[in-house]
């Protein structure tokens, strides 16, 4: 997805912007560019490709000036190309704009501007913006007023950073339904679409709200409402992420670093304030209907949450994929939509949230990013505390989401008298032991999964089976294998095999079976035998000490005995590592899987 970074200060802007762009690479992009203002001239360098390639070709860091904006583009309107890359300018090269989001009425605006004599250089929706600013400046408006008038004409979502040669030390920024933060330095001001881009400079940030704009100069920031021009007093927030936390920490890839950070992510998420769980429980208990709305990996966490709420607390909730919410659900007053999203910016989930609000339902959320768009639309926003997740693959945010949802289920179960105090303490203590257990598992299975991955170098497809709470974990394993190793894969409740998917099994077909602890174990062994009888090759994840399972399969990954309800936190680890090693062995970059993006901000 697109990323923005801008700088107004006393240092040379281009190298800082270049560094910020690299920190935004994880969002996924296809082109990048920088604009700086120097000696009453706008300098622009941009192209299609990776930032390092563009820098090698155009030496971005050489650009002069103490003010500038940079952008990583993920194509929506117009193919990836130099012309379509941001920044975009007006016809006289005085105004430069970078934009995240989508301008829905751009065709109409483009027609108007063409009628006014403007010539367009790109196919983007963004290019209407510099021309509109120019149009209003030609009518005698000052730079920021022209931006204000422009914003009033735009429909859709936009985060904007804009420079103008006539006011070289200034950036004007606007936010509408696309995140934008301001970083405050001693004699410098920064703007970015997300926090890691500015971490080396400052930890003091202001989070813009929809309908706000800012004027940034060296060390000074003024925020106003776009519509009224009224000044807004914004809270300055301290971000507790260090730049190192957002870097690879000595590992070859962010994905591996983040897989290995999972014990800490669980530990930190266990620190959720008791009051927050109480407040959330109260809202959920009063709900006529609970929808757990999420996409991808977050949806798998939601499925675990649904299972835990039903089995432990006798609370029924529907886990629904966000993009299907508006197609298949009818939220009403009295209903609660519980949005789960690590980024808090996923467009499909945001849309579901907006549909819920429009229909009078309450919205609560669980995200990993303070101040993200979903949190800001929520009546109650809860946080997983996984730290920044840079790899496109969701790993540590998944275990954090599950940890949070389990705590919630324990809390509700106790409150509703579904479990005794003793049972509650036992489950909570076992959950508290998970950081140590997962640390040991990661130590043990890293080498084993690497070896297994090497054995499967030629595998073209693989199927995952599980039962009960093992099924969402199987789905997550399957998603990871597709996303990172590009291996075709599907996940099925093991009991469904005989209703169709078994036809796919032929000699040598890889089936990964999750034998989780609990009453379904016997039936899982039966399903494994169904696969073996057709020549399938079964890799099994099973509790250590389960000798019987070993007799039935070719290869076992033994995992510690934990409560069934906690098993997703343990079973997912070898599946993530397997996908990681298989992806690396096949020469893929696990941090930036093809065609995918970290923060999916289009529907």
Q: Which residues are catalytic?
A: 2, 598
Q: Among 360, 335, 345, which residue's Cα sits nearest to residue 598? A: 345
Locate all alpha helices (DSSP H) within 155-261, ordered by sequence: 254-260
Question: Within 10 Å of residue 22's Cβ, how many Cβ atoms?
Answer: 18
Binding residue (CB under 6 A) for ligand M6R from 3, 296, 388, 517? 296
C-alpha span between 129 and 136 (Å, rounded): 11
Instruction: Kindly report the backbone phi and psi dihedral angles of residue 492, in degrees, each rounded to the nearest multiple of 5, phi listed first.
Output: -135, 145
Smallest gap, in angstroms, from Cβ of residue 341 to ligand M6R?
Answer: 3
> Nearest residue to ligand M6R, using CB?
296
Candidate segments 22-30, 91-99, 289-297, 529-537, binder of ligand M6R by CB under 6 A: 289-297
For the purposes of burial, counting CB atoms within 10 Å of the CB of 358, is it exposed (0-12), middle (13-18) or buried (19 or more)?
exposed
DSSP-based three-state secondary structure for 350: helix
Binding residue (CB under 6 A) for ligand M6R from 341, 381, 449, 540? 341
Candidate segments 93-101, 337-345, 443-451, 551-559, binder of ligand M6R by CB under 6 A: 337-345
Binding residue (CB under 6 A) for ligand M6R from 295, 409, 494, 557? 295
Helix, strand, coil % in the chain, rounded to nearest 5: 40, 25, 35
Please answer whether residues 382 and 396 qualify as being in contact, where contact means their C-beta atoms are separated by less than 8 angstroms: no
317: its two tokens: 């909730």
Applying the rule CB under 6 A, the residues between 426 and 485 that interact with ligand M6R are 479, 483
Candidate segments 63-71, 124-132, 200-208, 340-348, binder of ligand M6R by CB under 6 A: 340-348
Contacts of 59 (CB under 8 A, 6+ apart): 45
- Does 343 sit near ligand M6R (CB under 6 A)? yes
- Does 349 sit near ligand M6R (CB under 6 A)? yes
Smallest gap, in angstroms, from Cβ of residue 391 to ligand M6R?
Answer: 8
Smallest gap, in angstroms, from Cβ of residue 565 to ligand M6R?
Answer: 22
C-alpha span between 44 and 108 (Å, rounded): 27
CA 460-477-342 angle, 5° bins: 130
Smallest gap, in angstroms, from Cβ of residue 98 to ligand M6R?
Answer: 22
Please answer whether residues 50 and 41 qualify as being in contact, where contact means their C-beta atoms are separated by less than 8 angstroms: no
Binding residue (CB under 6 A) for ligand M6R from 38, 67, 298, 527? 298
Task: Give the x-and-dash track for 355-394 against ligand M6R (CB under 6 A).
Answer: -------------------------------------xxx
In Å, how far from its chain's centre is CA 216?
Answer: 28
- Does 576 sit near ligand M6R (CB under 6 A)? no
Nearer to ligand M6R, 124 or 449 (CB): 449
- Does 336 sit near ligand M6R (CB under 6 A)? no
Nearer to ligand M6R, 207 or 321 (CB): 321
Task: Give the x-and-dash track for 483-502 against ligand M6R (CB under 6 A).
Answer: x-------------------
Candidate segments 293-301, 306-314, 412-420, 425-433, binder of ligand M6R by CB under 6 A: 293-301
Task: Tell me which residue has tokens 């941001």.
Answer: 86
Question: Rg of the Cα trace of the chain?
Answer: 26
Please answer whether residues 181 and 239 qualify as being in contact, where contact means their C-beta atoms are separated by less than 8 angstroms: no
475: its two tokens: 């789905």
Smallest gap, in angstroms, from Cβ of residue 463 to ligand M6R?
Answer: 19
Task: Give the x-and-dash track for 398-417 against ligand M6R (CB under 6 A).
Answer: --------------------
Nearer to ligand M6R, 221 or 293 (CB): 293
Smallest gap, in angstroms, from Cβ of residue 8 to ligand M6R?
Answer: 30
Smallest gap, in angstroms, from Cβ of residue 246 to ligand M6R?
Answer: 16
C-alpha span between 124 and 398 (Å, rounded): 35
42: its two tokens: 């706008």
Q: Indicate the DSSP class of residue 22.
A: H
Applying the rule CB under 6 A, the residues between 33 and 52 that interact with ligand M6R are none
Nearer to ligand M6R, 368 or 540 (CB): 368
Contacts of 62 (CB under 8 A, 6+ apart): 14
- Does 342 sit near ligand M6R (CB under 6 A)? yes
Nearer to ligand M6R, 17 or 377 (CB): 377
Smallest gap, in angstroms, from Cβ of residue 380 to ligand M6R?
Answer: 18
169: its two tokens: 């030390």
Question: Within 10 Å of residue 453's Cβ, how many Cβ atoms?
Answer: 21
- Does 600 sit near ligand M6R (CB under 6 A)? yes
Nearer to ligand M6R, 150 or 599 (CB): 599
Q: How far is CA 340 from CA 85, 351, 391, 442, 474, in A?
A: 32, 13, 18, 26, 19
Interface residues toward ligand M6R, by CB under 6 A: 295-298, 341-343, 346, 349, 392-394, 479, 483, 600
């Amino acid at each position: 997805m697109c990323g923005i970074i801008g700088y107004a200060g006393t240092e040379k802007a281009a190298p800082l912007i270049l560094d910020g762009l690299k920190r935004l690479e994880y969002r996924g992009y296809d082109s990048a560019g920088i604009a700086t203002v120097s000696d009453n001239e706008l300098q622009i360098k941009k192209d299609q490709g990776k930032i390092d390639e563009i820098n090698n070709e155009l030496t971005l860091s050489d650009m002069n000036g103490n003010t500038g904006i940079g952008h990583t583009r993920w194509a929506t309107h117009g193919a990836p190309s130099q012309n379509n890359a941001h920044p975009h300018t007006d016809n006289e090269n005085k105004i430069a704009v970078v934009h995240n989001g989508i301008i829905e009425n751009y065709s109409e605006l483009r027609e108007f501007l063409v009628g006014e004599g403007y010539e367009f250089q790109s196919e983007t929706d963004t290019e209407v913006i510099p021309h509109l600013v120019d149009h209003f400046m030609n009518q005698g408006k000052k730079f920021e007023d022209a931006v204000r008038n422009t914003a009033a004409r735009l429909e859709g979502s936009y985060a904007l950073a804009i420079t103008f040669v006539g006011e070289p030390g200034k950036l004007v920024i606007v936010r509408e339904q696309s995140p934008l933060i301001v970083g405050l330095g001693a004699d410098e001001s920064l703007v970015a679409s997300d926090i890691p881009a500015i971490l080396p400079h400052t930890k003091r940030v202001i989070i813009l709200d929809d309908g706000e704009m800012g004027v940034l100069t060296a060390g000074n920031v003024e925020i106003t409402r776009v519509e009224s021009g009224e000044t807004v007093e914004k809270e300055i927030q301290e971000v507790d992420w260090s730049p190192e936390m957002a870097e690879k920490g000595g590992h070859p890839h962010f994905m591996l670093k983040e897989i290995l950070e999972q014990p800490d992510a669980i530990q930190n998420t266990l620190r959720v304030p008791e009051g927050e769980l109480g407040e959330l429980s109260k809202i959920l208990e009063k709900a006529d209907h609970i929808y757990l709305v999420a996409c991808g990996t977050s949806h798998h966490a939601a499925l675990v949450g649904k299972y835990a709420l039903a089995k432990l607390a006798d609370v029924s909730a529907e886990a629904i994929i966000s993009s299907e919410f508006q197609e298949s659900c009818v939220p009403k007053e009295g209903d609660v939509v519980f949005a789960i999203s690590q980024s808090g910016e996923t467009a499909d989930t945001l849309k579901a949230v907006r549909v819920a609000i429009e229909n009078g339902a309450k919205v609560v959320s669980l995200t990993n990013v303070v101040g993200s768009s979903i949190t800001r639309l929520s009546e109650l926003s809860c946080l997983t505390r996984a730290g920044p997740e840079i790899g496109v693959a969701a790993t540590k945010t998944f275990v954090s989401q599950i940890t949070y949802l389990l705590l919630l289920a324990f809390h509700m179960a106790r409150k509703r008298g579904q479990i005794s105090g003793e049972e509650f303490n036992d489950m909570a203590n076992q959950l508290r032991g998970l950081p140590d257990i997962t640390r040991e598992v990661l130590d043990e299975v890293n080498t084993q999964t690497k070896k297994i991955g090497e054995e499967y170098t030629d595998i073209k497809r693989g199927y995952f089976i599980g039962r009960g709470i093992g099924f969402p974990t199987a789905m997550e394993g399957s998603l990871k294998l597709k996303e990172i190793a590009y291996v075709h894969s599907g996940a099925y409740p093991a009991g469904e095999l005989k209703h169709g998917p078994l036809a796919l099994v032929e000699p040598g077909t890889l089936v990964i079976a999750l034998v989780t602890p609990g009453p379904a174990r016997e039936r899982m062994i039966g399903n494994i035998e169904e696969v073996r009888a057709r020549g399938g090759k079964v890799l099994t994840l099973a509790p250590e000490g389960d000798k019987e399972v070993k007799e039935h399969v070719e290869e076992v990954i033994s995992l510690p005995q934990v409560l069934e309800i906690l098993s997703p936190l343990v079973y997912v680890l070898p599946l993530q590592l397997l996908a990681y090693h298989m992806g690396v062995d096949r020469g893929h970059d696990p941090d930036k899987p093809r065609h995918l993006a970290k923060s999916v901000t289009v529907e």
